């Protein structure tokens, strides 16, 4: 029985739901296991809901949230609804400064802040504290939210906090890897790219390329979205097939400043 596609519960910079809404990409039909080492908002996972999935991310708070939704849904949802009823500007900043020790409370805090912060951005200061200001959205819970369906989709998945290279190095023959790294490029330090450079350097792009080449040599299949930039095209020259994707940019704070942009899709191992 095919599961119905789900909208992700997080708003995440660089989310990939548009890939399917625009019909520019679909997962290959045959694969043994689905691996996603940059989980983020999980748009590709929730669209397809593969039954055998290994999901990971370098952000431990993010992985904790997914784990709690999978395993501790009832208490988590109750806490989120409490946050929703108390939401205000003052409450937001009080919650942002809280340091909860309980993982379920931390997960509910993460969810609440993501729903109410500016543009769904996740950013930490040098002390590792979430420091994104409050956004303009007032709704914490939407009518379309389906906590139970999210939890069910995650049942049976392996959720891990770890480096992307470790996850990709586990890929075996007929595994499918979906890769959506931060869009760092060589010699370009403006805007969103400059922010990403702090968490994903050009050396990491090289590490990623090498890990995907190794996985392909073991018979794994991969699809990667990345910056549509000459340095990325050069980095993947001779590796798989490259295709330009078109999308609406949503990074700018004001809607008037958003327009069409392009991304690069690289598919290998097919």
The pLDDT-based confidence of 251 (bands split at 50, 70, 90) is very low
Query: Which pair of tokens denotes residue 128?
Result: 């590792």
> Can you tell me the distance from the alpha carbon of 114 to that of 30, in angstroms, rounded to the nearest whole number?
34
pLDDT tens digits along 51-84: 899 999 999 999 999 999 999 999 999 999 999 9
Class in CATH terms, 17-58+162-268: alpha beta
Please, which pLDDT band fits residue 105 given cuts at 50, 70 and 90? very high
Residues of the chain with CATH 1.10.1020.10: 65-134+143-149
Query: 226 is written with which tokens?
Result: 């990345």
pTM of this structure: 0.89
Kindly report the average pLDDT of the chain as a whole number: 88
Q: Which two tokens stand for residue 117?
A: 């912060």
The mean-pLDDT minimum among 134-138, 221-225, 249-253 falls in 249-253
Sequence ranges of the chain with CATH classification 3.40.50.150: 17-58+162-268
CATH among 1.10.1020.10, 3.30.230.10, 3.40.80.10, 3.40.50.300 for 65-134+143-149: 1.10.1020.10
């Amino acid at each position: 029985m095919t599961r119905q596609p789900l909208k992700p519960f997080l708003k995440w910079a660089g989310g990939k739901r548009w890939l399917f809404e625009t019909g520019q990409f679909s997962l290959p039909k045959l694969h043994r296991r689905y691996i996603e080492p940059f989980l983020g908002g999980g748009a590709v996972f929730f669209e397809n809901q593969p039954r055998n999935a290994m999901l990971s991310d370098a952000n431990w708070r993010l992985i904790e949230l997914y784990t709690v939704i999978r395993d501790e849904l009832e208490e988590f949802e109750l806490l989120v609804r409490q946050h929703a009823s108390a939401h205000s500007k003052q409450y937001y900043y009080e919650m942002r400064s809280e340091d909860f020790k309980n993982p379920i409370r931390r997960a509910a805090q993460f969810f609440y802040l993501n729903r109410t912060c500016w543009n769904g951005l996740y950013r930490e200061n040098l002390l590792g504290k979430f420091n994104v200001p409050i956004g303009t959205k007032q709704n914490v819970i939407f009518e379309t939210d389906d906590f139970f369906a999210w939890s069910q989709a995650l049942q049976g998945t392996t959720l891990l906090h770890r480096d992307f290279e470790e996850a990709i190095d586990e890929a075996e023959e007929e595994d499918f890897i979906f890769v959506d790294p931060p869009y760092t490029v060589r010699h370009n330090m403006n805007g969103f790219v400059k922010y990403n450079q702090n968490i994903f350097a050009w050396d990491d792009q090289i590490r990623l390329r090498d890990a995907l080449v190794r996985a392909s040599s073991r018979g794994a299949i991969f699809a990667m979205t990345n910056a549509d930039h000459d340095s990325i095209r050069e980095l993947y020259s001779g590796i798989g097939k490259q295709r330009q994707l078109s999308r609406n940019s949503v990074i700018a704070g004001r809607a008037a400043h958003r327009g069409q942009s392009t991304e690069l899709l690289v598919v290998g191992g097919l």
